[in-house]
Amino acid sequence: MELVEAIEVVYHEILYLARESGEAKPFSNPERVIDHLKKTQDKSIATIQLETGARIDDVPKVVLFMTAWIPEKGFILVIQKSKGGRDRELNFNDRVEKFMKIRAEALPVYELPR
């Protein structure tokens, strides 16, 4: 019972400390986080992840797909062997601008020295 009693004594102080600080949280406004990244390549990688939901291991696959993309095949992004070894297919036919944004972000990443 000592622990419960100790918590009761400082309950209001703990409650006060647990309140939101009002500071920007990294994932509550991801665009703001991306805007504050210094390197262009980091911004591109973060944008690709945000727009596609890709994990960091999938970003090179997105970049390679986008650099080899053939317009006649439509605006469908395929991430091969993603989570669980499955291929992910993202259909952007109704969001062409977003697809082109992802493609534009992929090009600077593709040009990174290997």
Rounded CA separation 46/101 (Å): 13
In a domain, 14, yes or no: no
> 69 CB contacts (<8 Å, ≥6 apart)?
103
Q: When comparing pLDDT for 109 and 68, which is higher? A: 68
Q: Between 20 and 92, where is the model more confident?
A: 92
Compute the average pLDDT of residues 94-99: 94
Longest dimension (CA), the chain: 71
Is pLDDT at 93 greater than 80 in this prediction? yes
104 or 14: which leads in pLDDT: 104
**Residue 16's pLDDT band (cuts 50, 70, 90):** confident
Determine, yes or no, domain membership for 95: yes
Q: Is 64 contained in some domain?
A: yes
94 belongs to a structural domain: yes
Tally of domains in the chain: 1
Tell me whether residue 19 is in a domain: no
The predicted structure's pLDDT at residue 109: 82
Residue 2 lies in a domain: no
Residue-range definition of the domain harbouring residue 75: 26-110
The pTM is what? 0.71
Look at 26-30, 58-62, 80-84, 103-107 and tell me which has the smallest mean pLDDT: 26-30
* 71 domain residue, yes or no: yes
For residue 114, pLDDT over 60 is answered with no
Residue whose pair of structure tokens reads 């977003």 in the numeric block: 98
The answer to the question of residue 1 being in a domain is no
